[in-house]
């Protein structure tokens, strides 16, 4: 059965909470949060190349709030069109833009204006303005044409969505036949308590809405994505207050997850 929020769950309040949380990450990246941020975390916990990160504007990397490393899942060929469907301040987006080069395009969509402003300024500063396009929007209703994207990247965001089927269906819609999803997200190995599932603060910290791992496979299949597999695992909440509060009991971790839209890759 598809993932469902608890009865009476206040979806409007959740969105306000998520927006407020990531607006604060954009304005005070070194503030106190339940989750890690920044380039040191990305390199030490998630295996990002520190040299590649150093070459990007700090404005972007210090606001990195992903949970895994989607670009480690597979290649992004030069000339391809990539979508980061909640790009935040743009770290993965800029790394993708470097890979697609001048003949490709890296599109970033995000709902938080302050995050988009950081991503846009960073693209300019990194000399990537021609390869990057930032769009305002929601990943439940992507401002992106059908079958126009070679690779969708996603880092730490599907867990924030109350309607995960809709988010995955949007990804499937925008992918070209043969296009790939490189997704990193938080998963749980056992179902969360109703109390945890009903807590909007825990949702905004990327845990309350985490899918049981097997449901991620089910969802991908449901929206028509094939070749699903987990490629890496990350202990993204190690040493955070979230880990201390929830104990290891919930077995919260993040995974890199690959899936593909059936069909031939256009030549």
157 contacts ligand SAM (rule: CB under 6 A): yes
Nearer to ligand SAM, 39 or 156 (CB): 156
Q: Kindly state the smallest distance separating residue 200's Cβ from ligand SAM, in Å.
A: 13
Q: Is 115 within 8 Å of 22 (Cβ atoms)? A: yes
Question: For ligand SAM, which residue of 58, 62, 72, 111 counts as binding (CB under 6 A)?
Answer: 111
Piece in contact with ligand SAM (CB under 6 A), picked from 71-79, 134-142, 195-203, 232-240: 134-142
Nearer to ligand SAM, 109 or 220 (CB): 109
92 contacts ligand SAM (rule: CB under 6 A): yes
Residue 244: exposure state from Cβ atoms within 10 A (0-12, 13-18, ≥19): exposed
Question: For ligand SAM, which residue of 88, 179, 200, 208 counts as binding (CB under 6 A)?
Answer: 88
Per-residue tokens: 117: 């402003």
Question: For ligand SAM, which residue of 86, 123, 205, 255 counts as binding (CB under 6 A)?
Answer: 86
CA-closest candidate to residue 259, choices 152, 135, 137, 136: 152
Q: Kindly state the smallest distance separating residue 140's Cβ from ligand SAM, in Å.
A: 6
Q: Is 123 within 8 Å of 88 (Cβ atoms)? A: no
Can you point out the beta strands (E) in the chain?
81-84, 105-110, 132-136, 149-155, 175-188, 211-212, 226-234, 252-260
Q: Kindly state the smallest distance separating residue 26's Cβ from ligand SAM, in Å.
A: 8
256 contacts ligand SAM (rule: CB under 6 A): no
| Site string (204-233) toward ligand SAM, x via CB under 6 A | --x---------------------------
Distance CA 255, CA 249 (A): 18
Q: Which residues contact 264 (CB under 8 A, 6 or more apart)?
A: 177, 178
Q: Which residues contact 79 (CB under 8 A, 6 or more apart)?
A: 100, 101, 103, 104
242 contacts ligand SAM (rule: CB under 6 A): no
Size of the site for ligand SAM (CB under 6 A): 22
Of the CA atoms within 13 Å of residue 262, those in its CB half-sphere come to: 6
Interface residues toward ligand SAM, by CB under 6 A: 18, 22, 64-66, 86-88, 91-92, 110-112, 115, 138-140, 155-157, 160, 206
């Amino acid at each position: 059965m598809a993932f469902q929020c608890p009865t009476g769950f206040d979806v409007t309040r959740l969105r306000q909470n998520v927006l407020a949380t990531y607006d604060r990450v954009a304005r005070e990246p070194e503030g106190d949060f339940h989750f890690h941020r920044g380039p040191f975390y990305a390199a030490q916990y998630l295996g990002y190349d520190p040299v590649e990160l150093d070459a990007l504007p700090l404005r972007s990397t210090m606001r990195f709030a992903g949970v895994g490393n989607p670009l480690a899942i597979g290649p992004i060929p030069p000339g391809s069109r990539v979508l980061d469907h909640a790009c935040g301040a743009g770290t993965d987006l800029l790394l993708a833009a470097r890979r697609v080069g001048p003949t490709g395009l890296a599109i970033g969509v995000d709902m938080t204006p302050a995050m988009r402003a950081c991503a846009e300024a960073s693209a300019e500063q990194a000399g990537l303005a021609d390869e990057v396009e930032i769009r305002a929007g929601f990943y439940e209703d992507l401002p992106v044409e059908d079958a126009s994207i070679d690779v969708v990247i996603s880092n730490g965001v599907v867990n924030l969505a109350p309607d995960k089927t809709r988010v995955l269906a949007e990804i499937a819609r925008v992918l070209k036949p043969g296009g790939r999803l490189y997704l990193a997200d938080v998963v749980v190995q056992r179902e969360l308590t109703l109390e945890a599932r009903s807590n909007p603060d825990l949702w905004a910290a990327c845990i309350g809405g985490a899918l049981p791992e097997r449901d991620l496979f089910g969802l991908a299949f449901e929206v028509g994505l094939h070749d699903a597999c987990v490629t890496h695992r990350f202990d993204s909440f190690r040493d955070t207050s979230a880990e201390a509060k929830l104990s290891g009991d919930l077995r919260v971790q993040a995974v890199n997850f690959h899936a593909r839209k059936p069909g031939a890759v256009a030549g």
